[in-house]
Structure 1
Amino acid sequence: MTDTQWHSLPDTRFQCHGLAVKADRYHRLPESGKDLLPPGVVEQARFPAGVRLRFVTNSPRLWLRCQAYSLAKDHGIDCVVDGVYWRTVILKEGTTDEVMVFQGLPEINRQIELYLPHEQEIDLQAIGLKTEAEISAAEPYIDELPLVFYGSSIVQGAGVHLSCMSYPAIISRHLNRDFVNLGFYGAGRGESEVVKYVANCPASALVLDLGKSYGRQSAEVYLHMLQQLREAQPETPIVAITPIFSSRECFDLRFYERSEMIRDVMRRAAKGFDNLMLVEGEALLGEPDWAGLSVDGLHPNEKGYDDIARRLLQVLKRCLTS
């Protein structure tokens, strides 16, 4: 790697998005106050879902110095170049690696986006570029305020190998808007202390997708969540999504009944709120869509998330322009 200069992170030229808190690694929650949050939320916040580094460079090569603190699970750091997926860097647990992403390209400016893993705890320590390569800020988003997504495994990106293909990430690229991913797998249950954290994130829109992780809770919990968010951000559009279809509903009566109960709870709780749009999850991904769109009958794959993003995109466009 002769003629390569390493740039230690954090570095303001490599803009970090997605509420990342970097100490010895990237987390989605600050250390202070973690003891007040449910253990499941703290556990999932170790994984930097939605965290991106963005920059422009004319370097013909790109290297990453990284360390992984958990298993890869076939996920890694996704590199997107000028809006096109390039490749994924898979990291081995417990080692510090210097990995080549690309080399030998013409020396012209390209916008680089590095999506950190949604299911692996890592530290991205430094970026290696050709010595004296130009580095500048990425194209700014059209709004300083991000889209804030709060929810479960569907928000975090369960079921996909590519972190850049979660539906919040896809929507962000289509709209040229920043986003924050607060998906916490089965821990997305609308607890007051978690909602307080969500409410403190300034947002251009709040997207709530708790899905089936909401469980057998009453409508009061969901109603209280909406009231908390509305009190904290009175003018911010809210999009509330009921659970998408899961093929398990066709074969497991108890699972189907619970899914229908959650949908009914969310519909009832969302009534009477101004500037709130209720979206039926089955309109985003329904029973006719499921053939070939899931690996486990519960979580979509990349194609499934792309379908969700395309359909939800129209809703968000209306919310953001109204």
Structure 2
Amino acid sequence: MMSYISVLTLSFLSLIFALDSFGQEAKTVFIDARELTLVGKVRHKGPFYHRLDTVATPNLPKAVKALATHSAGLAITFETTSSKIAAKWCTGSRVPTDNMTGLAVEGMDLYIKRNDRWQYAGVARPKSHECNEVEIVANMAAGNKTCLLFLPTYDETISLQIGVDSGATISPAGNPFKKNIVIYGSSIVQGASASRPGLSYPARLSRETGLNFINLGFSGSAKMEIDVANLISDLSMDALILDCVPNPSPEEVLTRTADFVTTIRKKHPKIPIIAIQSIAREKGNFDTEVATKVLLKNNYFEAEIKKLQKHDPNLYLIYAEGLLGGDQEGTTDGIHPNDLGFDRMLQKIRPMILKILQPYGI
């Protein structure tokens, strides 16, 4: 049996160790994330955390210009030997909506590479609507880690610093994703209503395929205007996905689809363009007007894409059937997919997208 003196000695040593550990934990140094690697952006011009340089594209619709300042789909990648990772960041003063978590709107989530797979490691949970400082993960094993921190989905990121142990190394990592596959679409592309940034479907596609899916989701505002087509035409991309049927009216789908695709084709004559019909709005389970409108938009979109396909062998169509499953449990509000709905979308479209891209060497 251990002696009383031995117990006291062990308790004293444990106290010293705990105090020492506490002191070590308090020593966190921060580095500006702009010194690390930004991924998810096609053109690195304009404000660092804006998806597009809106100053250089003055003719964009006002709503699109505002949404382009949101950091949806952008991520910081870096390598570090630190046992913990913290963050200080400031966003705009946007307040989360009723169908979005505060974590998705203004927070961040961290993934770390393990066994050649991106694995969830922690979240940066916002406590205010402007500036925050939190510890994302702690007590990690020794060794170098490759990290991927997804930025807020529905707000502008104004500044960001990454915190690590004093004495630990932190350096830019190489872009883990290859090629540029632009996804243009609605709030569903932007990330509503995933519970956190890394669970939006473009972010998941990137992690699960190793391809660079660029998030050009514009909530409520992906209406296939020609000025937006001209913007997309000027981007350097290897493929384009059009998931934009949810936002336009049926008449806009009918009158704008061909011009939108044709405008992009002038500068990208041979890249694969993958068009996706609108998911079924579960509000339409009982609301017949909603169901009829979605069906009409999808029918118009199919008809216009099929006309273009007669002269365009690099244009593809993915149908809406089964995108959310059949049990009506795949959305948050009858419109936007929840995490379950996004997973079901991925199970259908990921193999189809990869099959389409494979002959192009993507």
TM-score for both structures, normalised by structure 2: 0.81
Using the TM superposition, give the Cα deviation of residue 289 of structure 1 relative to its aligned residue in structure 2, in angstroms. Answer: 4.3
Q: Note the C-alpha offset of 1:43.
A: 2.3
Check if 1:281 corresponds to 2:320.
yes
Per the alignment, in what secondary structure is the counterpart of residue 247 of structure 2? helix
Task: For residues 268-301 of structure 1, give each alpha carbon's deviation from its aligned partner in whole angstroms, at most 9, with x where no partner exists.
Answer: 1112222111001223225x142x2212111110
Contact conserved, 1:25 with 1:122, CA < 8 A, in 2? no
Deviates more, 1:15-24 or 1:198-207: 15-24
Deviation of the 1:304 alpha carbon: 0.8
More divergent stretch after superposition (258-267 vs 210-219): 210-219
Aligned AA for 1:80?
Y
Contact 2:88 2:161 in 1 (8 A): yes
Where has structure 1 moved over 4 Å in runs of 4 or more?
A: 20-25, 92-95
Distance 2:84 2:45 in 1: 25
2:112 — aligned with what? 81
The within-5 A match list for 1:250-269 is 250-269=285-304
- Where in structure 2 are the equivalents of 1:93-132 lying within 5 Å? 93=128, 95-132=130-167
Give how far 1:151 is off. 0.5
Distance 1:201 1:184 in 2: 17
Decide which moves more: 51-60 or 214-223: 214-223
| Alpha carbons 1:21, 1:27 under 8 Å: kept | no
Q: Report the CA distance between 1:35 and its aligned residue.
A: 3.3
CA distance in 1, matches of 2:47, 2:243: 30
Distance 1:95 1:315 in 2: 40
> Which residue of 2 is the match for residue 159 of structure 1?
193
Matched residue type, 2:316: M
Q: Percent identity of the aligned residues?
A: 28
Matched, 1:18 2:18: no
**CA 1:229–1:10 in 2, change beyond 3 Å: closer, same or farther?**
same
Give the unaligned 5+ runs of structure 2. Answer: 1-24, 97-101
CA distance in 2, matches of 1:71, 1:40: 15
Pick aligned residue for 1:184 from 213, 218, 221 = 218
The 3-state SS of whatever aligns with 1:212 is: coil
- Counterpart Cα distance in 1 of 2:273 and 2:70: 25
Does the aligned pair in 1 maintain the 2:80–2:168 contact within 8 Å? yes
- Across the aligned residues of Structure 1 and Structure 2, the Cα RMSD in angstroms comes to 2.1
2:264 aligned partner: 229
User: Counterparts of 2:167 and 2:269 in 1: how far apart (Å)?
Assistant: 48
Secondary structure at the residue paired with 1:32? helix
Residues 1:218 and 1:66: Cα distance change in structure 2 (over 3 Å): closer
CA displacement 1:101-159 (0-9 Å, x = unmatched) = 1222222122211111111222243211123323344364462x222100101111111
Alignment length (residue pairs): 317
Q: 1:24 to 1:148 in 2, by over 3 A?
A: closer
Aligned: 1:35 with 2:58? yes
Q: What displacement does 1:72 show?
A: 5.3
